[in-house]
Amino acid sequence: MGGNRRMGSWGRAAFPPAATCTKPAPGQSSVVRLVNARQHAPSPHPSAAPMISLTMSDRENRPPRGGVKRAQPSGDPRGAKRRRVVLGEIEGNVAATQPSSLEIGSISGGGGGNEDWAKENRFTESRKVGVGGENGRVDSMMCVRPCRIYQHLRSFEVRESMRPLPDYMEKVQKDLKPEMRMILVDWLVEVAEECRLSADAIFLAVNYVDRFLSRNVVSRNKLQLLGVSCILAASRYEETVPPYVEELCFMTDNSCTTDEVLKLEQEVVKFLNQELNAPTTKTFLRILSKVSLNNEQNSSLLELTGYYLAELSLLEYQLLRFPPSLIAASVVFVARCVMAPYQHPWTMELQQYSGYRPSEMKECVLGIHKLQLSKGHPCHAIREKFMQRKFKRVAQMSLADIPVQYFNN
C-alpha cells in the first residue's frame, strides 16, 4: 500500500496476521473474504457481563451489535468472520456513473428550510394523535404533546450549524464530484451492514460528512478516510458498543491507518462543535411513520418501504437542498403511493402533523420517486440490503407514475 491512499487502490495485506484471505475468482465480487480467523485467543474481557438482550425501536434494524459482540467466544476484537468491504476504483466508477438526472429547482413555501418559514407554520399543540398499537394501546411518545416534539425538531434542523450547504461541491470542493459522494455513501451503508450498525448511525455519518465538506476542502484520496472517521464518530454516539477502529480499517483493506482515522475523527468532532445529535431524515421518519401507520393494513410493509426510500435519498446530492423533515414527509408520501396507488397518499392528519402541503412536497417527492425507478443505478448496496427476506424485499416494489392531482392542496 505504501503511502497510496486513493479510494479503491487496495493492497493484499492479510489482517489480522493469523488470518488468510482468499482472492475472488474472475467474474466474482471484488470483496475479499476473511477465512480462518483466530479461534483460540484468550478473551480480552474476562470480567465481561453475560450476554443481554437489547431491543431497537425500529424493526428494520438488526439485533444490537453490543449483544452480538458480547456473545463472541473468540478474543479477536474484529470478530470471527469479518469480510473486507472494498470500495471500487473511484476514477473508474465515476466514469461509469451517469451524472445525476435530478434537476430539482428551489422549492417555494416549505422546502427552503429557513427559520422565517418555520415560524410561520404553527403546529397544534393540543391535538392528540392516537397511534394504534397492539390491543389498542397508544404509544406514549405520541401522547404527550406530540406536535411540540416535532416542532422542536423542526426548529432544530434549520440551524445553520446543523445543515450542510446544498451546493458545497460547486463552491467549496475542488477535487470532488457528486458521483464520488454517492459511491462513498453506498460504501458506508455496506460497512454499516457488516458491522451491524443501526440505520440512525448511517444517517448521522452522512450528515457529518456533508457538514464537514461544506466548510473544508478534501481531496478525493482522503474522502474514504473522512467516511470512516464519520461512521466511527456516529457509532460512538448512537451505538451501545461501537466498532473497533481496527475493524473499520480492515474493511478498507488497511488503506487507512488507525492513527489517521482517530486523528480525523477528532478534527471532525471539533469542527462540528460536538453537535452530534443533528436531526436526520430518519429522526422525522420515525415520528411520521407512527402517524402514517395508524389503522393501516400492511403497516409493516409500508414502514419498511419508507425506510428503504429514506436510505435511497442519502445517495442523491441534489436532495441536500431540502430539510430532513421535508424529505421524510416526501418518503411517506411515495411509500403510501406505492402501497395504495389509487388512494390519495396525504391525509389531513399527516398534513396537520408534518406542516407540509402536497404542493410543497412535489419537487422532493418526484426526486425520490426518480431514485426509486433508477434500477440500473451503479450504487447497489442499499437495494441489495432491502432485497433481503427480513426486509420483505421492498426494493423490488415501485410505482410507474404518481398522478399529478395528488399534489393539489
Q: Alpha helices, DSSP H only, in 28-177?
A: 65-70, 90-96, 115-120, 146-157, 168-171
Q: Alpha helices, DSSP H only, in 323-377?
A: 324-339, 348-354, 358-373
Same domain for 326 and 347? yes
Same domain for 287 and 396? yes
Provide mean pLDDT across the span 1-17.
38
Same domain for 181 and 250? yes
Highest mean pLDDT among 19-28, 70-79, 277-286, 372-381: 277-286
pLDDT digits (tens, 9 = 90+) for 222-277: 999 999 999 999 999 999 999 999 999 999 988 999 999 999 999 999 999 989 99
Q: What is the DSSP letter of 343?
A: S
Same domain for 361 and 332? yes
Same domain for 266 and 166? yes
Same domain for 308 and 348? yes
CATH assignment of the domain containing 353: 1.10.472.10
pLDDT at 83: 61
pLDDT at 200: 95
Note whether residue 262 is domain-resident: yes
Given 237, 272, 307, which residue is the final one in a domain? 272
Same domain for 263 and 292? no
pLDDT digits (tens, 9 = 90+) for 345-371: 998 889 988 999 999 999 999 999 999
Same domain for 299 and 354? yes
Given 272, 301, 329, which residue is the final one in a domain? 272
Out of 62-76, 119-133, 147-161, pick the least confident. Answer: 119-133
Note whether residue 107 is domain-resident: no
Return d(Cα 189, Cα 43) in angstroms, integer: 30
Highest mean pLDDT among 49-53, 58-62, 104-108, 136-140: 58-62
Note whether residue 57 is domain-resident: no
Q: Is 104 helix (H, G, I), strand (E, B) or coil?
A: coil
Same domain for 171 and 201? yes
Given 272, 299, 326, which residue is the final one in a domain? 272
pLDDT digits (tens, 9 = 90+) for 303-347: 999 999 999 999 999 999 999 999 999 999 999 999 988 889 998
pLDDT at 86: 62
Domain count, the chain: 2
Banded model confidence at residue 3, pLDDT cuts 50, 70, 90: very low
- The domain in which residue 246 lies consists of 162-272
Q: What is the DSSP letter of 223?
A: H
Determine how many CB atoms are found less than 10 A away from the CB of residue 73.
9
Which backbone phi and psi does 95 adopt, to 5 degrees?
-65, -35
The β-bridge partners of 22 are 33
Highest mean pLDDT among 181-185, 290-294, 400-404: 181-185
Note whether residue 181 is domain-resident: yes
Same domain for 223 and 310? no
Determine how many CB atoms are found less than 10 A away from the CB of residue 128.
13
